[in-house]
Amino acid sequence: EAQVTQNPRYLITVTGKKLTVTCSQNMNHEYMSWYRQDPGLGLRQIYYSMNVEVTDKGDVPEGYKVSRKEKRNFPLILESPSPNQTSLYFCASSVRPRETQYFGPGTRLLVL
């Protein structure tokens, strides 16, 4: 089954404790992206990747890092999480940027 998977689905952590949210797709897509969704603000793009070793900033990249060492994986790293990064995070992938993006199930993060 073609899908985008994210882990963990739920995470509670404390300020400053580094964490990684994994994202994996099995559709051989080149384009992958991370979003955060907050009430009243909608979905905002954090980072995207056009292909392996090619990443670029979205609209809200501060406080986040990403890497793309393999085509199927695109982890999101929070080196020193803060409470304002409490949010619902989605990973997505597509063949190319202008094509349909397929979203993962989401990761709900709470930073205390």
Partner 1 sequence: EDQVTQSPEALRLQEGESSSLNCSYTVSGLRGLFWYRQDPGKGPEFLFTLYSAGEEKEKERLKATLTKKESFLHITAPKPEDSATYLCAVQERGNNRLAFGKGNQVVVIP
Binding site residues, partner 1, CB under 8 A: 4, 31, 33, 35, 40-45, 48, 50, 56, 58-59, 90, 92, 97-106
The CB-of-59 to partner 1 minimum distance in angstroms stands at 7
Peptide bond into 8 cis (omega under 30): yes
The CB-of-58 to partner 1 minimum distance in angstroms stands at 6
* Closest by CA position to 54, among listed 21, 96, 20: 96
Q: Which is nearer to partner 1, 75 or 104 (CB)?
A: 104
Decide if 94 contacts 31 (C-beta within 8 A): yes
The CB-of-30 to partner 1 minimum distance in angstroms stands at 11
Separation of first and last alpha carbons in the chain: 36
